[in-house]
Amino acid sequence: MEKPVLNVQDLHISFSVYGGEVQAVRGVNINVNSGEAIAIVGESGSGKSVTAQAIMRLISTPPGRINKGQIWFNDKDLLALSEKEMQQVRGRDIGMIFQDPMTSLNPTMTIGMQIMEGIMKHKGLSKDKAKERAIELLNLVGIPNAESRMKQYPHQFSGGMRQRVVIAIALACDPNLIIADEPTTALDVTIQAQILSLMKQLQKSQQTSIILITHDLGIVADLCDRVFVMYAGEVVETGTKYEIFKNPQHPYTKGLLRSLPRLDQSKDEPLIPIFGSPPDLIAPPAGCSFCSRCQDAMNICATEAPETTTISSTQTVRCWLQQAKLEGVQSPAEEGVNV
């Protein structure tokens, strides 16, 4: 069996706030194989970006803290590395495309120097060679007049152009793994298609692994091989994109798919939202985190957290509805009441 490039095991992350301690990530397990693209999906606040920041060791301490878990990347435990050792991993081995380009670019440095900086540090290229590579990258991500644009500053670029610069920086050193946190949010559909095409090309030609964090399930269907569905800091379902789209098992996954517009849907047919709000992660529920919003919830869902059930060799789910073989578990119809 192929050894994963990245393996996150039982990750727990919390943040100290005025009202207590927010348990933002609770026991997350994620793995990525060489040349594979996975997606982490879920609503805002589910822990997607925090998980990605933990992989890059970018959790600010305080207020954040990694309480438990391991993050293995190519046989290295990233949580055991010193900050100096981690600086060699960032950019060279793992590239990250951040969600907000304005806060990830240095306003006092030219765009060209920001791209060249990592190339010279990690690749050991001369300034002239690094400049050639930077111009090549700007052309690659669709920025016109790349050579003259190299001399400009972030405030002279539009939001979409800044996002493309961030993508160019992430790709600069040909990393083994790219973490893309909402990489196409600020881009129009034409540039979105170009960026997705570029990421596909990298995946195939260089066996680059990709972690895509997104709300756009259309992008997931186009780019990714497997999907991890997160809710309230936990992974509630995993599977191939075909299993998640064609045979979802968790009520939350089904709710996400029902809330999407479809081409075969009548214009008069309303979208079905997921009613309610996520739980307070300062005091997470004892049972299933989705219980209060689930139409199929049973009494046991409110008191005991479900274990992971294997649906197939590639699909797992954390839901009591899938554990009907366990004694004492009744269906909602048998109980005659929802929680």
pLDDT of residue 195: 75
**pTM for this entry:** 0.88
Instruction: From 254, 104, 223, select the one nearest 169 (Cα to Cα).
Output: 104
End-to-end CA distance of the chain: 42
pLDDT of residue 97: 87
Q: What is the mean pLDDT of each run of 10 residues along the chain (339 residues)?
A: 84 91 93 92 89 91 90 90 89 84 84 91 87 89 88 87 86 88 76 78 81 86 91 94 92 88 71 85 90 88 89 91 61 53
Q: How far apart are CA 306 and CA 288, in angstroms?
A: 6
pLDDT of residue 330: 59
Strands (E), the chain: 6-17, 20-32, 37-41, 64-73, 76-77, 94-97, 177-181, 209-214, 226-231, 234-240, 308-310, 316-318
